[in-house]
Chain A
Amino acid sequence: MIKAVMMMNTQGKPRLAKFYDFLVRCLPVEKQQELIRGVFSVLSSRPENVSNFLEIDSLFGPDSRLVYKHYATLYFVLVFDGSENELAMLDLIQVLVETLDKCFSNVCELDIVFNYSKMHTVLDEIVFGGQVLETRSDEVMKAVEEISKSEAASNSISLVPKSVSGWRGGR
């Protein structure tokens, strides 16, 4: 299964971090941040044009592998175990990036910074509880659009100024 999905920029600032491995997910947040920093320090020490795989048992327990891809100012990172294929995981990063590209038309770091919630929507359609459930970016886009519509619809009910609804709620 996939143990974690991370995105961070080349300065080591995390942009998205999602842990599926139950043990890691239940760690206190500081420990999770340590993991992210640990991953970044390994990634930043690697030269360009070398393989994209790492064995990372020291951080994520036995049988942990990591695949990463460096796009412009961002690292996309997947941590997974022996039930996944390394090259397929590399493809999955490609799927994710392609989808984001469609979502934001020419995705850049700022899109990812300011669309935190949408990023999760996209990711949740592709990876579900550590399992890869969707690999077609069109399908992902369809679902993401539907979800956005649902959200907008539910919010439009409250077009009445927030203050009023707040007042009514507080009565």
Chain B
Amino acid sequence: MASSNSLMDSLFQRSLEDLIKGLRLGESTFISKSLEEIRREIKLTDLSTKSVALQKLSYLAALHGVDMTWAAFHAVEVVSSSRFAHKRIGYHAIAQSFSDQTPVLLLITNQLRKDLNSSNEYEVSLALECLARIGTDDLARDLTSEVFTLLGSSKALVRKKAIGVVLRVFDKYPDAVKVCFKRLVENLESSDPQLLSAVVGVFCELTAKDPRSYLPLAPEFYKILVDSRNNWVLIKVLKIFAKLASIEPRLAKKVADPVCEHMRKQNVGKSLLFECIRTVFSSLSDQEVPLKLAVVKIREFLMDDDPNLKYLGLHALSIVAPKHLWAVLENKEAVVKAMSDEDPNVKREALHLLMAMVNEDNVTEISRILMNYALKSDPLFCNEIIGSILVACSRDSYEIIVDFDWYLSLLSEMARVPNCQRGKEIEHQLIDIGTRVKDARLELVRVSRALLIDPALLGNQYLHPILSAAAWASGEYVEFSKAPYEIAEALLQPRTCLLPHSIRAIYIHSAFKVLVFSLGVYFSAQEPTSSSLVQESTSSGSSAVNGFTCDSISSLVSMIELGLCSLSGTIDVEVQERAKNILGFIGIIKHEIAEKATSQDSETEVHRAIAFMEDVFSEELGPVSSTAQEKVPLPEGLELNENLEGLQEICREVLEPMAESDYSSDKVSFSVAKLRIRDQEEASSSSSPPLESSSLLAEHRKRHGLYYLSSQKSDDHKDRDGNDNNTSNEYPPANEISVDSFKSKKKLSKPRPVVVKLDEGDEPKTKPDASSSNDERLSRAIQTALMGKGKGKEKERVKENHEINLDTENIEQSSRREKKKKKNGERSSKRSSRRQKDKEASVTKPVEVPDLLL
């Protein structure tokens, strides 16, 4: 029964062509039906039927996303067929679907070995192709000797594929270097351009991973660079030299001539010319002659009508821009013109180049040009433009910005670009400038006010972060405001319900600051002797805010009360709590406002409450270094056994938008301020126990002393601080640093306002290279091979350890000269000369590429 079934299946099996025809009629149901068929057919013993089924399955897997991992064993069956057609299908399926985890992988080792030894070169190349794509550590190890044999094959087709497979074998099994490396290097002298291309390609990949190990081969590469006429080969050799020259400057000098020669040739291919230019720009840019020539040649690319060449030309310019900006400036017109190109790639490259050109003098002009482009570009590019301006202008703490009033107005202009989606970045910069640049605060408050009262912005969710920054700034720096009432009104307007709760909470909190400030001014105007603090801050701001009358203050209070009433029942706890706080505060002071105008008693509850709240908000927020955490030494006895690799990911996400600094939150400043006035604080009771928080803070300071930046101003802080044994000289609050650095820097009579910077020259730590152990092993093996080639394998293995440890520099240097003389004299047999060279290469480790440089 079973056999008759299988007979029917075999007889009426659909071929791949039938399957494709069927698929063209209607897809989804046909696929599942065909899969059923395939599952049945593939289990049959007849290899022809099986292989056709496998072929159909591979097709469906590649183009229709059908899983084929379940058929791994059948692929192994098919590949073991003696027929070439079956083998092809089998190898194709294996190369397509096997991974390191495929359990039947072990079963193909022998089959691969058998086919690698086959007399049919096409069977050999099937096996090589398969090995190149799925080779695992084990396969690479077990088949190294076969690959070695094939590297010497007389058939070009087999040999070039054997060369290609070496890359995979070395990668997976570095010890194969000991066996195969010599033969691989020998192929560098091959006269067959195809073989040469293959071997140079392999070295190009190897060099890209670890240039240093291949420096000793520079003479061979140099010879190819000079002699070869094949563009494919030359391109790869240039790529190798680009890598080598960047670690060995003398090499750059040496290859400059041949590279120039290639560039000067009349009918040089564009691909080769481009590669020459790129090599010069990336690695030979210290050589004057090639650099100038390359800049001349790049203009041909920029002026070409072919968008590909234009794009590549701009791309190459961006490589050279950091080191030789003049090359870009010479082509400025072409770059600006490219901004209006229809090709998005060209536009993007042009944008990068323009941003590279930005400096103190032209930032206004370039930003103007770019903002015009932003207005008429598609959303994607528009935001890219805005993003680039933001990045360029904020680089190194706004180094290129002289006029912050202009920059702030530019930021608010960005917010009004219809497609703007860079709210987060703009938010960050508005707050950043507020904390860093004291002189810009007046303008910041003006700009913020304009943003807050603009009705068009509330509806755009991308702009909410900007509004949040504007709200914060107008609350924090309310002393600069001309009309606090108007700001409070804007902060509590009904349309703020369009904002997310977190931002709404900031709005409410800012309104609180405005209220406290206004009350403070009102009451201090009543009795000029009381609060010196407010006077201090108002004197630095504007004098326009002294006009609070009894009427205006009570209308402000009732406006705020009215605006918040509806919010006291909000679901969001943050919004509700802040609203309730203010309402409670208003409850305390409201009834006294009117009476207060007449009373002269400064010891009332209201006075104390207002003075307290003023103190709460009087602390200025300063920037905090993003590397501050790293300065905290690891506490003794702390063991971090757990792998925190995942944390790094998270940290990067957080740090990226906040490029340099982070801010202490409102909450922290609240507790700091509370600490300062603790002794006065009896009237208004707060929910958190003050003693505990102060001791916690003191504890924190003690532990992370380095984190707190030092300042001399801490004296007045000390006597207010409750903890006597707390040496507050060492632990002043973090935010006082800004005051001090202002003072020290103000002496410079620069027109540019001072920007608070932290940690100059403090590079954010880069993640240590997570190079796999295999890579290290490979480069060690290569270095050993280049040092000790030509000796017996066994010896080498013994020697390996010694060579690494012993510093044989001196001995080898002297012996090198001898051998060199010998080498120049004789080139009788290829083999012996090769051996010479190998030995020479081996001694060149400390001073690489000797004969090339002499």
**Taking beta carbons and an 8 Å cutoff, which residues of A are in contact with B?**
1, 13-18, 20, 25-26, 28-30, 32-33, 46-47, 49-54, 82-83, 85-88, 90-91, 113-114, 116-117, 120, 124, 128-136, 139, 143, 146-147, 150-151, 153-155, 157-158, 162-163, 165-167, 169-170
* CB–CB A85/B274 < 8 A: yes
Q: Which of A50, A90, A91 contacts B344 (CB 8 A)?
A: A50
Q: Across the interface, which residues of B come within 8 angstroms of A146, CB to CB?
A: 122
Scan B59-74; emit 1 where CB is below 8 A from any A CB, else 0.
1011111111000000
A158 to B132 Cα, complex, angstroms: 31
- Chain B: which residue is nearest A124 at the CB level? B129
Let me know if B104 is at the binding interface, CB within 8 A: no
B161 touches A88 (CB 8 A): no
Docked pose: A88 CA to B234 CA in angstroms? 11
Distance in angstroms from A131 CB to nearest chain B CB is 5
Sample 16 A-B pairs with CB under 8 A, ordered by A number: A1-B205, A26-B99, A46-B344, A49-B342, A50-B343, A83-B204, A85-B271, A87-B271, A88-B232, A88-B271, A131-B198, A131-B205, A132-B197, A135-B232, A162-B46, A167-B7
Do A51 and B311 contact each other (CB < 8 Å), given the known contacts A29-B67, A151-B85, A165-B48? yes
Q: Are the C-beta atoms of A166 and B7 separated by less than 8 Å?
A: yes
Complex: chain B residue closest to A157, CB-CB: B83
Knowing that A50-B343, A131-B202 touch, tell me 18 more A-B residue pairs with CB under 8 angstroms: A26-B99, A51-B307, A86-B312, A88-B275, A120-B92, A128-B164, A129-B168, A131-B164, A131-B198, A134-B160, A150-B85, A150-B122, A155-B83, A155-B85, A162-B13, A166-B44, A166-B49, A170-B3
Provide the residues of chain A in CB contact with B64, threshold 8 Å.
33
B531 within 8 A of A: no
Contact of B6 among A33, A120, A131, A166 (CB under 8 A): A166
Instruction: Bits for B91-129, please: 1 = Cβ < 8 Å to A, else 0.
Output: 010001001100000000000000000001010000011
Q: How many residues of B contact A (CB 8 A)?
A: 77
Q: Is the CB of A165 within 8 A of B311?
A: no
| CB proximity of A52 to chain B, nearest CB, Å | 6
- Nearest-neighbour CB distance to chain B for A79, whole angstroms, equals 16
A53 / chain B contacts, CB cutoff of 8 Å? 308, 311-312, 345
Query: Which residues of chain B (708-730) have a CB below 8 Å from chain A?
Result: none
* Residue pair B198, A51 in contact (C-beta under 8 Å): no
Alpha-carbon separation in the docked complex, A132 to B194 (Å): 10
Residues in A with CB closer than 8 Å to B701 are none
Shortest CB distance B191–A (Å) = 16
Q: Are B129 and A128 in contact (CB under 8 A)?
A: yes
Residue of A17, A32, A51 touching B343 (CB-CB under 8 A): A51
Contacting pair A28 B132 (CB below 8 A): no
Could you tell me the distance between the alpha carbons of A146 and B88 in the complex, rounded to whole angstroms?
13
Within 8 A of A (CB), among B159-218: 160-161, 164-165, 167-168, 194, 197-198, 201-202, 204-205, 208
Task: Kindly state whether residue B394 has any CB partner on chain A within 8 Å.
Answer: no
A30 to B96 alpha-carbon distance, docked (Å):
14
**B691 / chain A contacts, CB cutoff of 8 Å:** none
Q: B385 at interface (Cβ–Cβ under 8 A)?
A: no
B571 at the interface (CB under 8 A from A): no
Interface flag for B45 (CB, 8 Å): yes
A91 to B271, CA, bound (A): 9
Question: Please, which residues of chain A bring their CB within 8 A of the CB of B836?
Answer: none
A83 near B239 (CB under 8 angstroms)? yes
Q: Which residues of A contact B84 (CB under 8 A)?
A: 150-151, 153-154
In the bound assembly, the distance between CA atoms of A33 and B91 in angstroms comes to 22
Residues of A within 8 A of B270 (CB): 87
User: Is B426 engaged at the interface, CB distance under 8 Å to the other chain?
Assistant: no
Q: For B274, what are the chain A residues with a Cβ–Cβ distance below 8 Å? A: 85-87
With A50-B344, A114-B20 known as contacts, the answer to whether A169 contacts B46 (CB < 8 A) is: yes
Given contacts A1-B205, A135-B232, A166-B46, A25 and B308 within 8 Å (CB-CB): no
Q: When the two chains form their complex, are residues B16 and A117 in contact, meaning their CB atoms are under 8 A apart?
A: yes
| B783 CB to nearest chain A CB (Å) | 21
B11 within 8 A of A: yes
* B370 CB within 8 Å of chain A: no
Residues of A within 8 A of B236 (CB): 83
B134 closest partner in A (C-beta): A25
- B interface: dominant SS: helix
B310 beta carbon closer than 8 Å to chain A: yes
CB distance B83 to A154 under 8 Å? yes
**Which of A83, A128, A158 sits near B208, CB closer than 8 Å?**
A83
Residues of chain B from 364 to 421 with CB closer than 8 A to chain A in the complex? none
Q: Within 8 Å of chain A (Cβ to Cβ): is B483?
A: no
Q: Given A30-B65, A162-B10, A132–B232 Cβ distance below 8 Å?
A: yes
Q: Which residues of B contact A32 (CB under 8 A)?
A: 65
Are A17 and B165 neighbours in the complex by a CB distance under 8 Å?
no
Contact call B65/A129, Cβ cutoff below 8 A: no
Is the Cβ of A29 less than 8 Å from the Cβ of B345? no
The contact string, 1 if C-beta is below 8 Å from chain A, for chain B 12-48, is 0100110010001000000000000000000011111
Task: For the complex, give the distance between the alpha carbons of A157 and B10 in Å.
Answer: 17
CB of B307 within 8 A of CB of A167, answer no
Question: A-facing mask of B312-334, CB < 8 A → 1, else 0?
Answer: 10000000000000000000000
With beta carbons under 8 angstroms apart, the residue of B66, B310, B342 that contacts A47 is B342
- The answer to whether B429 has its CB under 8 Å from any CB of chain A is no
CB-CB under 8 A for A85 and B132, given A47-B342, A143-B157, A155-B85: no
Bound complex: CA A41 to CA B506 (Å): 41
Q: Which of A30, A113, A117, A166 has the most CB of B within 10 A?
A: A166
Decide if B55 is an interface residue (CB 8 Å cutoff).
yes
* Complexed CA–CA distance, A150 and B122 (Å): 8
Specify the chain A residue showing the minimal Cβ separation from B312. A86
Q: How far is the CB of A122 from chain B (nearest CB, A)?
A: 13
Q: Across the interface, do A33 and B65 meet the contact criterion of CB distance under 8 Å?
A: yes
On whether the beta carbons of A129 and B205 are closer than 8 Å, the reply is no
The one of A28, A116, A139 that contacts B20, using a Cβ cutoff of 8 Å: A116
Shortest Cβ distance from A167 into B: residue: B7
Complex CA–CA separation, A54 to B100 (angstroms): 31
Cβ–Cβ < 8 Å partners of B345 in chain A: 50-51, 53-54
Chain A residues positioned under 8 Å from B232 (CB to CB): 88, 132, 135
Query: Whole-angstrom distance between the alpha carbons of A87 and B275 in the complex?
Result: 9
Known: A29-B66, A135-B232. A129 touches B164 (CB 8 A): yes
Residue B231 at the A interface, CB < 8 A?
Answer: yes
Q: Is the CB of A129 within 8 A of B3?
A: no
B132 touches A128 (CB 8 A): yes
Residues of A with C-beta under 8 A to B269: 87
Contact A87:B122 (CB < 8 A) given known A116-B59, A124-B129:
no
Cβ distance B755 to chain A, nearest Cβ, rounded Å = 33
Residues on the A chain within 8 Å of B737, using CB:
none
- Distance (Å) between the CB of A63 and the closest chain B CB? 10
Among residues of B, the one whose C-beta sits closest to the C-beta of A25 is B133
Contact A162 to B48, CB < 8 A, known contacts A86-B274, A129-B167, A150-B84? yes
Query: Does chain A have a CB within 8 A of B464?
Result: no
- Residue B436 interfacial (CB < 8 Å): no
